[in-house]
A and B are shown apart, each in its own frame.
Chain A
Amino acid sequence: MRARFLPHPLLSLTLFLVWLLLVNSISLNSIVFAAILGLVVPMITQPYWPDMPRLSKPMAIPAYVLIVLYDIVMANIQVAMIVLFKPKSRLQPAWVCVPLDLRTPEAITVLAGTITLTPGTVSCDLAEDGHAVLVHCLHAPDPAAVRDDIKSRYERRLKEIFE
């Protein structure tokens, strides 16, 4: 019964909050409509998302978000420096294959998004069996270091949060 009314409680809560933020005011009107959205959207989309993702350590999410935000600012400065000052001939782009220990699709999605947002790396493809991510680096003299950095900095934390 609960599964039918609230198949994704977290999604419902997120929709509720996002609608209130969009309206930018707290009135009876907006609260009622936010509640309707939070109930109806998860029910309509349930066939496309049958399994509920588990969060084993949700308290670790804020720390992860802060680390990623910090890295994004640093990434911006690094990439700007490369764009402005590095001669084209000294640029060493590289493809890197990052083997994954993560298995839940949601965790892999978050990891791929994080890789794209942070220092000089873009995630491009997933292995057929989903056990590796293909990453393109803007400037990587040492591709192995990039791989280890992604694994220790982001994947380890995501594994704690999701698995």
Chain B
Amino acid sequence: MPFWAEITVTLFLVIAGLFGLVGSYGLVRLPDPMTRLHAPTKATTLGVGGALIASMVFFYATEGRVSTHELLITVFLFLTSPITALFIAKVHLHQRETPDDLPTPAEGTGWAGFAAEGPARGVRDFPPDPAGDTATPEISR
């Protein structure tokens, strides 16, 4: 492998490692579920992206062919990561927020996530289970 390729691959691997680490550290450091969601959805995109660029350069330098799998991984990552984030955000909205905590979209309308379950009712308002268990187990913060 030529010297320039070694330098490039190393550089991108270090960048990838740093951003992956920062993303994970954000999970520990940020105060609540919604802000924690920001760290892994973003910092890790560049983390994985750096590793993919390093992989492309590596295969080009050692085998002289352009590997397209990395491009596809990037595309699939960009397609799936917003959806994962949306699912986590929705669960958070249902368990921890009421429509009163959020800005209203316009006069007379609400957010779709709350409309589906009847007027202004989050999961946490469900009556306790007759068996004695509460409907939503409280997760310690």
What is the interface of chain A, defined by CB distance below 8 A to chain B?
Answer: 18, 21-22, 24, 72-73, 75-77, 79-80, 83-84, 88, 91, 93, 95-97, 99, 112-113, 116-117, 120, 122-132, 134, 136, 138
Interface pair A112/B86, CB less than 8 Å apart: yes
Interface pair B35/A80, CB less than 8 Å apart: no
Interface pair B71/A128, CB less than 8 Å apart: no
Interface pair B89/A136, CB less than 8 Å apart: yes
Tell me, yes or no, whether B41 is within 8 Å of chain A by CB. Answer: yes
Q: What distance in Å separates the Cβ of A110 from its nearest Cβ neighbour in chain B?
A: 10
Q: List 12 A-B contacts (CB under 8 A).
A: A18-B72, A21-B72, A72-B42, A73-B46, A79-B43, A83-B22, A93-B35, A112-B82, A116-B41, A122-B89, A125-B113, A128-B115
By a CB distance below 8 angstroms, the chain A residues around B101 are 95
Interface pair B106/A132, CB less than 8 Å apart: yes
Q: Interface majority SS on B: helix, strand, loop or mixed?
A: helix
Residues of B in contact (CB 8 Å), total: 48
Docked CA distance A95–B92 (Å): 13
By a CB distance below 8 angstroms, the chain A residues around B83 are 113
Q: What distance in Å separates the Cβ of A131 from its nearest Cβ neighbour in chain B?
A: 7
Interface pair B112/A125, CB less than 8 Å apart: yes
Docked CA distance A88–B100 (Å): 25
Docked CA distance A73–B43 (Å): 9
Interface pair A79/B39, CB less than 8 Å apart: yes
Tell me, yes or no, whether B81 is within 8 Å of chain A by CB. Answer: yes
